[in-house]
């Protein structure tokens, strides 16, 4: 890879990282391209060289953040280990509830962009997690229920604890372990 291409890739990744921070802090409507330019030390023409507009940037940021979840879910291990890895990854990568970011899709106008986010979310996170739930059902580790419902329950549990590990004086991995235990065993006393 030549130096120009590598430098462009690093610049694009920095923009994505800074935009991710701003979108999480301010939402789609609150984040401005001017503010992003200031944070990245770029001019608007340079920013638009990488991303054609705010909508395209938002789509690319979400796709960038969702990338890699599939590999984490598909790693070998017990059901519990795999769920803990994905829970930790969600807790590590999100500063606000992911549902708030997904709601920001309502501000998108291009149907291709909406479809792109939906495909990334389903392909990287939801469908692989649903397949893991089905495996758990087949192995009789999970209740024989809809894998989709189990996936939504699991993600809902994790979503409610995003950016809360510090106030609980736990690391994200420790919090993930606790949440997976509640998901798998509930709050009932088992003796």
pLDDT-based confidence at 9, cuts 50/70/90?
Answer: confident
**Per-residue confidence (pLDDT) for residue 96, from 0 to 100:** 78
The CATH class, in words, for 1-51 is mainly alpha
pLDDT-based confidence at 104, cuts 50/70/90?
Answer: confident
pLDDT-based confidence at 181, cuts 50/70/90?
Answer: very high
Residue spans of the domains in the chain: they are 1-51, 60-185
- Output the pTM of the full model: 0.86
**Per-residue confidence (pLDDT) for residue 188, from 0 to 100:** 79
Contact assessment for residue 137 and residue 144, using Cβ atoms and an 8 Å cutoff: yes
pLDDT tens-digit map of 113-130: 989 999 999 999 999 999
- CA atoms of 71 and 86, how far apart (whole Å): 10
- Same topology, domains 1-51 and 60-185? Answer is no
User: Per-residue DSSP letters for 29-66?
Assistant: HH--HHHHHHHHT--HHHHHHH-SSHHHHHHHHHHHHH
pLDDT-based confidence at 191, cuts 50/70/90?
Answer: low
Q: 60-185: what fold?
A: Tetracycline Repressor; domain 2 (1.10.357)
pLDDT-based confidence at 2, cuts 50/70/90?
Answer: low
């Amino acid at each position: 890879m030549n130096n120009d291409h590598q430098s462009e890739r690093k610049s694009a990744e920095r923009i994505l990282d800074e935009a991710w921070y701003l979108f999480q802090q301010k939402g789609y409507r609150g984040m401005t391209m001017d503010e992003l330019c200031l944070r990245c030390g770029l001019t608007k023409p340079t920013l638009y060289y990488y991303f054609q507009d705010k909508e395209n940037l938002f789509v690319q940021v979400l796709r960038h953040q969702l990338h890699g979840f599939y590999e984490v879910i598909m790693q070998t291990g017990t059901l519990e280990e795999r769920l803990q890895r994905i829970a930790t990854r969600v807790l590590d990568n999100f500063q606000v509830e992911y549902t708030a970011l997904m709601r920001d899709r309502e501000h998108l106008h291009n149907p291709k962009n909406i479809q792109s986010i939906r495909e990334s979310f389903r392909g990287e996170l939801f469908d692989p997690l649903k397949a893991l739930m089905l495996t758990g059902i087949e192995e009789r580790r999970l209740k024989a229920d809809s894998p989709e419902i189990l996936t939504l329950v699991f993600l809902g549990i994790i979503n409610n604890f995003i950016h809360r590990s510090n106030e609980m004086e736990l690391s994200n991995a420790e919090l993930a372990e606790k949440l997976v235990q509640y998901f798998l065993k509930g709050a009932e006393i088992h003796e």
